[in-house]
A and B are shown apart, each in its own frame.
Chain A
Amino acid sequence: MSKLEKQLSEWIRSGLIGKDQADRIRTHEATRPESSWVLSGLLLLGAVIVATGTVSLIAANWFTIPDAVKLVADLLLLLGLGYGAFRSQASNRPLHFEAFLLAFILMCLASIGLISQIFHTGGKLHQAILLWSLITFAAASSARTLLIPFLWTGAFLSGIATAAIESIALQPVFHRSFPAVFMAIPLLCAALTIISKNFGGESASTRAFRVWTILSGLTALSVAEVHALHRDITSAYFPAYALWAFALWGVWQASGYTRIQKGLVSGVLLVYFSSFHLPFLHTSLPVIYALHTIIELGLMAVFLASLKERALFQTFLTLLGLRFLILYFQAFGGLARTGFGLILSGMFVIGLGVLWNRYRKPIAEWAESWAQ
């Protein structure tokens, strides 16, 4: 039974709609054009595969073909893909536009690889990625769907994180400190989200930066816990401090959030800051770090609930449950205890699942009302 049929049956049973209305809905849905997400997915996947194949083909190094021929062919391919993207947008074909744009952007990376190969440049991979990020930023920003900005941001962040650790120029700033770099990355994403939202509104780029803020934030929290005993050079955190202050300012400047929502995000930022500075307070107890993460995840869950982002709220709640489970293993030891612990934890998780399934709506509504 399809999702629509299930919903219609439920609505008829609940007395919300009659059979006639259900039939009219069925007819309306049947006459609508097919959802294009399968087509768009296939087009974009195809573009990624073709571009990856081109990178691989270039990497094979066809030394019998003269360099000039290779460079001209590469340039023509780039121009062709760029023209395809431009024409698709002009003729209002959004799917074709996204596919051409993705292929064009990936082809730019392949071109950097080709130039590097022909002229034997000794550059590092992160340098190539950063150059690519710089020259394709505007093109990636013109995308309408999340995929291209999401890929672009992921590549940019990996490039900048590697550069912060490996680059000689940035070594006096970050002192090759992993926690300092990992602390800065989600804050950089948050800053980019604020800038993108102010200049371009709720665009695909803004959404991509926001998604990466959450993903890199979760990664950074794990790094903060792993590096619990690592006491770093304080000055390595200066870029993160600047970004942290900017993010805090951006939250309080943002329109569309209530005071309590702004307070919740500020709380998230404060706890995040604290997570990276526990080693300086000579605290190495895993429980303290775990509590930090739990408070962080809890604050985020309430904030997301207040925004009515139920899917994300549930994700954070699941993460919260998992963190509690890991805390159990951190706090206790021994085979017998672990065995009992696992059984109890499993039952606890099942119970939590059953309770959640029964009361998720009232819990979500309570969290939403609490934050408003």
Chain B
Amino acid sequence: MIQSRKGLLLALAFPVLVLSSLTLYRMVSLQTGREIVLPVSGYDPRDLLSGHYLTYRVDYGVEGICNSGEHSLNSVFVCLEPKGISTTPPENCTVYIQGSCRSGFFEAGIERFYVPEDQATHLEELIRSKAASIRASVGRDGRAQVKDLLIDGKSWKDQ
């Protein structure tokens, strides 16, 4: 379909530009967001593309987030200070997380933590037996990103 050299150059440059921008966006969001710590509990599955990860339930300290009756909701906002739930960006809320309800569970894109293959089993045991939490960065739009996994308040790397 693409015959010209210019066209090919654009076709090859486009994915590189998109992936670089995505990386940059993620880096900036991580650095500029507000840092929060949330307790979690979970287990260890595997992802073909990115390797081992721990997936967990995040305790937002807010009851009945996805109990509105609807099975799936595209936009749900959980306010952490003060505690509350809404389907539009909440006003008078210091920090809120944006997510969606899937099969009755709230998902904000912070339910995964990628771990090295050889440490996955050990970390899974730790996360089950000790107090685990995640350190996340939350942007002004409520989009959250995981920074670190904490076991008894310390980074998993220090265990």
Contact = CB atoms under 8 A, between A and B. Distances in A.
B109 interface: yes
Interface stretch (A2-10, A78-86, A210-218, A336-344): A78-86
Given A75-B16, A120-B114, A122-B110, A59 B1 contact: no
Contact of A59 (B22, B23, B49, B112): B49
Contacts of B110: 120, 122
Interface string A101-113: 0001000111111
Given A117-B114, A128-B49, A200-B1, A135 B23 contact: no
A135 B117 contact: no
Contact of B12 (A85, A109, A171, A196): A85
Contact of B18 (A85, A121, A125, A135): A135
A113 B15 contact: no
A123 B47 CA distance: 11
A71 B110 CA distance: 21
A142 B116 contact: no
A33 to B, nearest CB: 25
B127 interface: no
Given A61-B115, A85-B12, A123-B109, A142 B26 contact: no
Q: How large is the interface on B (under 10, 10 to 19, 20 to 34, 35 or more residues)?
A: 35 or more
Interface in A67-92: 71, 75, 78-79, 82, 85-86, 89-90
Contacts of A114: 50
Interface residues of A, number: 50
Contacts of B52: 59, 61
Contact of A63 (B1, B5, B116): B116
B50 A113 contact: yes
B102 A205 contact: no
Contact of A168 (B18, B30, B100): B100
B146 interface: yes
A186 B3 CA distance: 28
Contacts of A281: none
A169 interface: yes
A115 B114 CA distance: 11
Contacts of B8: 85-86, 89, 142
A122 B112 contact: yes
Contacts of A104: 12
A218 B116 CA distance: 41
A59 B9 contact: no
A331 interface: no
A138 to B, nearest CB: 4
Nearest to A85: B12
7 contacts: A59-B117, A61-B51, A121-B109, A125-B47, A135-B14, A135-B19, A142-B2
Interface of B: 1-2, 5, 7-16, 18-20, 22-23, 26, 30, 47-53, 72-74, 100, 102, 107-117, 119, 145-146, 157
Given A59-B47, A63-B116, A86-B5, 18 more contacts: A60-B117, A61-B50, A61-B117, A63-B119, A63-B157, A108-B15, A112-B19, A117-B51, A117-B114, A120-B145, A121-B109, A122-B107, A135-B15, A135-B19, A136-B15, A138-B10, A141-B2, A199-B1
